[in-house]
Amino acid sequence: MSRLLAQLRLEIGFVTKRALVNAFAGSTLAPRPLRWAVYRLCGSRIDTMNVFPGLQLGGPPSNLTVGRGTFLNVGCFIELVAPVRIGRDCQLGMQVMIVTSHHESTVDRVPTGRPVVIGNRVWLGARATVLPGVTIGDDVVIAAGAVVATDCVGPGTYAGVPARLIKEAA
């Protein structure tokens, strides 16, 4: 019985955090300082108040780290089955999606997490998608609508599906 109660408390805590993070903090009614405080209260390590409405977190908020000066535009989705680390002074466009869950096969029903690391001064264009296990290096630009399936480590501009280097940094 006590094990069941412990599991129930854990589930209620998770649902409460999800409601606070996605329904309240993600709302257009929450001012940025309050939004930032709710994310921090729920365990995210977000060092910027530049988080605009509509951010949806799928998983434990404690798996998210965002550096100083980073800007998350409206409607972004960050799945947190595994840790996601976003560096300093990054720009995430509207509806950017970062995914961390991976299935080894079609038979495997339980996803495994693969962390995503985004360096400093990275720009992710609107509706760019970053897939599980990817590392994006410093000073990288990902074009709008690109799907990042492999690491983008060298500074430059990456575009396409899948994303590939189209212009090296000057």
Boundaries of every domain in the chain:
2-168
Peptide bond preceding 60 in cis form (omega within 30 of 0):
no
Q: pLDDT value at position 42?
A: 86
User: Is 103 known to be catalytic?
Assistant: yes
Global confidence as pTM: 0.86
Structure tokens at 83: 């840790």
Residue-level pLDDT at 14? 54
pLDDT tens per residue across all 170 residues of the chain = 566 556 555 555 555 666 677 777 777 888 888 888 888 988 899 999 999 999 999 999 999 999 999 999 999 999 999 999 999 999 999 999 999 998 777 776 778 899 999 999 999 999 999 999 999 999 999 999 999 999 999 899 999 999 999 998 87
Distance, CA of 49 to CA of 141 (rounded, Å): 22
Residue 83 half-sphere exposure, CB side, CA atoms within 13 Å?
A: 11
**Per-residue model confidence (pLDDT) at position 97:** 98
CATH of 2-168, one of 3.30.70.1400, 3.40.1410.10, 3.40.1260.10, 2.160.10.10: 2.160.10.10
For residue 164, what pLDDT is reported? Answer: 96
pLDDT of residue 7: 56
Please tell me the total number of residues recorded for the chain in this structure: 170
Q: Sign of the C-alpha dihedral, residues 140, 132, 73, 126?
A: positive
Cα Rg of the chain (Å, integer): 17
Q: And the tokens for 100?
A: 């961390």
From the list 9, 103, 164, 167, the catalytic residue is: 103
Residue 141: strand pairing partners: 123, 157
**What residue has token string 């977000």?**
46
Is 112 in contact with 101 (CB distance < 8 Å)?
Answer: yes
